């Protein structure tokens, strides 16, 4: 069997028994990358030598009995997680040569558990997008179908995991950026509760919405990755001091008596009938397995896109003010005044979508418009949060589609940003409410494109999501790797 | 881009349909109140490492075009 196709859990077992070593496993991923990367284009930076060295170190550490949770497991990282000594571009020219002098907390955790970092993977510029097409360094392709998007913004993570280029990856989710590409590429993605995972060293997009999470081949791997990255961090004051459970302990697949909520507003016009069929089949399966299905209403769902596209750009415009060419990142060296330097650096460094969002954000925050835009959006955000609080009095988990359609062709909607924004309608609310959300493979379209099922739960109830996801994975048998053309 | 921004701004005006008079705004979905920690001294980045990412510096400071 090809080692690159192993799950994290299987690889851990084989490493533990001595059947395989990390160097062979890592070489297998690198060979797979050589074989498919010209089509998949997931990697921005590939650290071949560093990965092999880390693999050999992991093998030595294991011999000495020093076995971390992820000892010798080859992973990739979305290119907005700071990696000491390794380029971190955020998919943007403005950070094209940025080499961070420190590791993000989650990267530090992976390394201290013995993980092998293969490299950094593609994403929409500053995570602003739903297709990864705004990446300045190559656009990842959906491993299931040539010429189709891998989704975004963590498109490189999803493509790399699905194509067998790494065993698992970390991404980030501000409005669906883990769940949506996971769904489009047929893998598992989890956006944890806001505050569950440290954001220190995650390049900020919208600080009240961003959260780091895993993209994996199956639900068990997702639980393992959560065990590795979760927890309070003194360097992120919004991370929450709650007990960190053993996420693997929830993988029992027993859903009897669980109340499964089906949000009416997520099954409206525009939903592809094939997506609807797959999600309904998932709900039917849970019902047959003994779960109680409850119809739920989240009445303010239709406003979430408008709220999000004010709050996220507002926060982004403030966060991205730091890219001024002074301390780090690109600088226009021709400018002879400070103002010209700021202006020329930012004009040349940022792409169109980032500029669009900075303009919307500064406008929404400007005096005279603040109440009408930013404040109004923050108030409607409260109403969306209350919808969920009401819903979770009546159910334990919400089951819905992740995206209105399966993956689409590259280049579609490229001059209609609003059309792309509207495709985020089913994932955005979880970020506004700070609740955990997950995408688990549910089935396939007639064209053979994967379709995910979304699970959402109350704050810090990743346990319920993992339990239901595990049951769906076992029951629907829709989890598999693509054959790459 | 002007036309695109117009489309987006007219779309978000949809929020006007909702009466939010007595609704308090949410800035963080899961608010942490008084996020205190022990006041311990930790090491910070050494100057040379902090400067290493800059396009122009003199070894001690970041350098920018003349301001005054």
Cross-chain residue pair B5–A377, CB shorter than 8 Å: no
Interface contact A338-B29, CB threshold 8 A: no
In a domain, A408, yes or no: no
Instruction: Give the count of alpha carbons within 13 A of A408, CB side only.
Output: 17
The answer to whether residue B31 scores a pLDDT higher than 80 is no
The one-character DSSP state at A281 is: H
State the pLDDT at residue B30.
Answer: 79
* Sign, Cα dihedral of B11, B16, B18, B24: positive
- The verdict on a CB contact (< 8 Å) between A306 and B14 is yes
Is residue A127 included in any domain, yes or no?
yes
Q: Among residues A118, A123, A98, which one has the least CA distance to residue A107?
A: A118
Residues near A431 by beta carbon (within 8 Å), at least 6 away in sequence: A173, A174, A175, A176, A191, A194, A209, A211, A308
Which tokens belong to A67? 């076995």
Domain contains A358: no
Residues of A in contact with B35 (CB under 8 A): 237-238
Residue A331 and residue B32: Cβ atoms within 8 Å?
A: no
Average pLDDT over residues B56-64: 95
CATH of the domain at A30: 3.90.1300.10
Residue A414 counted as domain residue: no
Instruction: Per residue of chain A (485 residues), give pLDDT as tens.
Output: 799 999 999 999 999 999 999 999 999 999 999 999 999 999 999 999 999 999 999 999 999 999 999 999 999 999 999 999 999 999 999 999 999 999 999 999 999 999 999 999 999 999 999 999 999 999 999 999 999 999 999 999 999 999 999 999 999 999 999 999 999 999 999 999 999 999 999 999 999 999 999 999 999 999 999 999 999 999 999 999 999 999 999 999 899 999 999 999 999 878 999 999 999 999 999 999 999 999 999 999 999 999 999 999 999 999 999 999 999 999 999 999 999 999 999 999 999 999 999 999 999 999 999 999 999 999 999 999 999 999 999 999 999 999 999 999 999 877 788 888 888 999 999 999 999 999 999 999 999 999 999 999 999 999 999 999 999 999 999 999 999 87
User: What pTM was estimated for this model as a whole?
Assistant: 0.97
Beta bridge partners of A212: A172
- Could you tell me if A196 lies within 8 Å of chain B, comparing CB atoms? no
Residue in chain A nearest B34 by alpha carbon: A237
On whether residue A350 sits in a domain, the answer given is: no
Asked whether residue A284 is assigned to any structural domain, the reply reads no
Mean residue pLDDT across chain B: 91
CA A314 from chain centre, in angstroms, equals: 21
Task: Say which of B16, B23, B54 has its CB closest to residue A328.
Answer: B54
Look at chain A and report how many structural domains it folds into.
Answer: 1
pLDDT at A401: 97
Domain assignment present for residue A171? The answer is: yes
Closest CA to A123 of A71, A172, A66, A161: A172
Distance between CA atoms of A83 and A221, rounded to whole angstroms? 22
Reference A229, options A215, A249, A218; nearest CA is A215
Nearest alpha-carbon partner for A229 in A428, A434, A118, A81: A81
Q: Quick one: which of A473, A484, A465 has its CA closest to A178?
A: A465
Strands (E), A327-427: 397-401
Residue A74 lies in a domain: yes
CA dist A159 to A78, A107, A188, Å?
Answer: 11, 20, 12
**A269 part of contact set with chain B, CB < 8 Å:** no
The predicted-structure confidence for A286-333, as pLDDT tens digits, reads as follows 999 999 999 999 999 999 999 999 999 999 999 999 999 999 999 999
Q: What tens digit of pLDDT does each residue of B42-51 get?
A: 888 999 999 9
CA dist., res. A293 & res. A103, Å (int)? 44
Q: Tokens in use for A327?
A: 């301390």
Which domain, by its residues, includes A39? 3-257
């Amino acid at each position: 069997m090809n080692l690159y196709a192993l799950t994290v859990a299987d690889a851990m077992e084989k490493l533990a028994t001595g059947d395989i070593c990390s160097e062979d496993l890592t070489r297998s991923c690198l060979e797979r990358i050589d074989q498919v990367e010209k089509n998949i284009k997931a990697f921005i930076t590939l650290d071949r030598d560093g990965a092999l060295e880390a693999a050999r170190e992991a093998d030595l550490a294991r011999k000495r009995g020093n076995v971390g949770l992820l000892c010798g497991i080859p992973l990739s990282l979305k290119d907005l997680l700071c990696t000491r000594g390794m380029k971190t571009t955020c998919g943007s020219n403005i950070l094209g040569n940025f080499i961070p002098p420190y590791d993000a907390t989650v990267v530090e955790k992976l390394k201290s558990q013995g993980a092998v970092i293969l490299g950094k993977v593609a994403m929409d510029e500053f995570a602003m997008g739903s297709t990864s097409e705004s990446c300045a360094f190559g656009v990842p392709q959906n491993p299931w179908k040539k010429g189709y998007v891998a989704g975004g913004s963590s498109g490189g993570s999803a493509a790399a995991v699905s194509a067998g280029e790494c065993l698992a990856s970390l991404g980030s989710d501000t409005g669906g950026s883990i769940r949506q590409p996971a769904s489009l590429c047929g893998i598992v993605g989890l956006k944890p509760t806001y505050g569950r995972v440290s954001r220190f060293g995650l390049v900020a997009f919208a600080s009240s919405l961003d959260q780091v999470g895993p993209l994996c081949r199956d639900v068990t791997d997702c639980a393992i990755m959560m065990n590795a990255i979760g927890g309070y961090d003194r360097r992120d004051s919004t991370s929450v001091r709650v007990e960190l459970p053993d996420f693997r302990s929830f993988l029992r697949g027993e859903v009897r008596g669980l109340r499964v909520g089906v949000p009416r507003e997520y099954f409206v016009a525009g939903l592809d009938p094939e997506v609807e069929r797959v999600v309904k089949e998932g709900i039917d399966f849970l019902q047959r397995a003994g779960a109680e299905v409850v119809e739920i209403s989240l009445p303010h769902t239709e406003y979430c896109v408008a709220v999000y596209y004010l709050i996220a750009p507002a926060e982004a415009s403030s966060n991205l003010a730091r890219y001024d060419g002074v301390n780090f990142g690109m600088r226009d060296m021709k400018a002879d005044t400070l103002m010209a330097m700021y202006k020329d650096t930012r004009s040349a460094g940022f792409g169109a979508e980032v500029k669009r969002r900075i303009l919307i954000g500064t406008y929404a925050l400007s005096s005279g418009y603040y109440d009408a835009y930013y404040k109004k959006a923050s108030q409607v955000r409260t109403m969306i949060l209350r919808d969920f609080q009401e819903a979770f009095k009546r159910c334990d988990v919400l089951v819905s589609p992740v995206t209105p359609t399966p993956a689409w062709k590259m280049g579609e909607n490229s001059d209609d940003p609003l059309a792309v924004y509207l495709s985020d309608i089913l994932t955005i609310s979880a970020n506004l409410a700070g609740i955990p959300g997950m995408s688990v493979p549910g089935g396939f379209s007639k064209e053979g494109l994967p379709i995910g099922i979304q699970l959402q739960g109350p704050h810090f109830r990743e346990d319920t999501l993992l339990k239901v996801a595990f049951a769906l994975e076992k029951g629907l048998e829709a989890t598999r790797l693509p054959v790459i053309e | 881009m002007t036309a695109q921004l117009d489309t987006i701004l007219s779309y978000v005006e949809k929020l006007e349909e909702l009466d939010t008079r007595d609704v308090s705004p949410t800035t963080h979905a899961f608010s942490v109140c008084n996020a205190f920690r022990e006041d311990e001294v930790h090491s910070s980045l050494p100057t040379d490492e902090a400067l290493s990412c800059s396009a122009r510096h003199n070894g001690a400071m970041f350098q920018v075009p003349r301001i005054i």
